[in-house]
């Protein structure tokens, strides 16, 4: 894939799903009945943009804006309700807790993560020490990941995801718990990947982190694309917007009561 060509094209993408929620109950009936309602959640509505190969795109927006849903749709975890996603490359989704077995050690999870990403055992073994060195969590690498702090877990997950040669790396809040030194190393690794024509799409509540990693940004607001452009301009517009009008996640409509 040559840098500058499209790696991801999203066309009129909508994603909706149905959730069952419990309705508020009258105090006198609280012990006798339980009412639920089916609600249609319109997570994404008619979203369109593209990401060139060798570029890093940031996704910003409030809780419930559809950022994680969009990454999962790109990765194939969620099926679009309408529209389409075209990919030129193999995607890899990096999200907190995804793809690791908490009962295994860090070293064992390096192997598990590499195999899950489609690498052969020999390829994983060849890169294992580089991954462990990059994660830099010391002797914890041989302890169960249940003993890890969120920052250590994030270090290991990022190290695995960036060393399995993904053509399209989707990062969902995976760097939020990292310390400043690891964050600098992670940003440098992302830039190295972009130089090699690998493509990054990163979600973070931290607009400063997105600005460090990405060159462009897409701002999602309640499932719609509100702005798209140079990362600093979009981040500035988003920061001003939330200062004046806090974003809220909303149900789209009620389908039926039970």
Give dist(CA 14, CA 223) in Å, integer: 8
Tokens representing 240?
A: 């001003």
Give dist(CA 60, CA 39) in Å, integer: 25
Alpha-carbon distances, residue 185 vs 60, 87, 146, 189 (angstroms)? 22, 28, 24, 6
**Closest-CA residue to 165 (of 77, 92, 93, 86):** 92
pTM: 0.80
Contact between 236 and 83 under an 8 Å Cβ cutoff? The reply is: no
pLDDT tens for the chain, 258 residues long, are: 444 589 999 999 999 987 776 766 654 455 555 677 777 788 999 999 999 999 999 999 998 899 999 999 999 999 999 999 999 998 988 876 667 888 999 999 999 988 888 889 999 999 999 999 999 999 999 999 999 988 888 889 889 988 888 899 999 886 665 677 788 888 888 888 888 878 999 998 888 889 988 999 999 999 999 999 999 999 999 999 988 886 665 544 443 333
Tokens representing 21?
A: 């929620």
Tokens representing 163?
A: 């060393």
Give dist(CA 160, CA 1) in Å, integer: 22
In the chain, the domains with their CATH numbers are 6-22+34-253 (3.40.50.300)
Report the 10 Å Cβ neighbour count for 167: 18
Give dist(CA 225, CA 60) in Å, integer: 10
């Amino acid at each position: 894939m040559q840098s500058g060509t499209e790696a991801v094209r999203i066309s009129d993408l909508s994603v909706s799903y149905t959730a069952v929620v419990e309705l508020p109950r009258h105090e006198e009936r609280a012990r006798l009945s339980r009412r639920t309602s089916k609600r249609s959640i319109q997570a994404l509505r008619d979203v369109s943009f593209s990401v060139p190969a060798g570029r890093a795109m940031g996704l910003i927006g409030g809780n419930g804006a559809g950022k994680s849903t969009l990454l999962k749709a790109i990765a194939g975890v969620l099926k679009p309700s309408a529209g389409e996603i075209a990919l030129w490359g193999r995607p890899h989704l990096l999200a907190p807790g995804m793809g690791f077995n908490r009962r295994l050690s860090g070293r064992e999870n390096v192997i598990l993560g590499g195999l899950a990403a489609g690498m052969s055992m020999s390829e994983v073994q060849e890169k294992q020490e580089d991954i462990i060195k990059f994660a830099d969590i010391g002797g914890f690498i041989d302890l169960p990941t249940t003993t890890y702090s969120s920052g250590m877990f994030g270090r290991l997950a990022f190290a695995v995801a960036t060393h399995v040669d993904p053509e399209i790396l989707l990062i969902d809040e995976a760097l939020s718990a990292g310390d400043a030194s690891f964050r600098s190393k992670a940003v440098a690794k992302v830039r190295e990947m972009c130089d090699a024509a690998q493509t990054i799409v990163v979600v973070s509540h931290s607009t400063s982190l997105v600005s460090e990693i990405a060159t462009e940004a897409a701002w999602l607001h309640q499932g719609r694309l509100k702005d798209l452009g140079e990362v600093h301009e979009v981040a500035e517009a988003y920061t001003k917007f939330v200062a004046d009008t806090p974003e809220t996640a909303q149900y789209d409509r009620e389908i039926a009561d039970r």
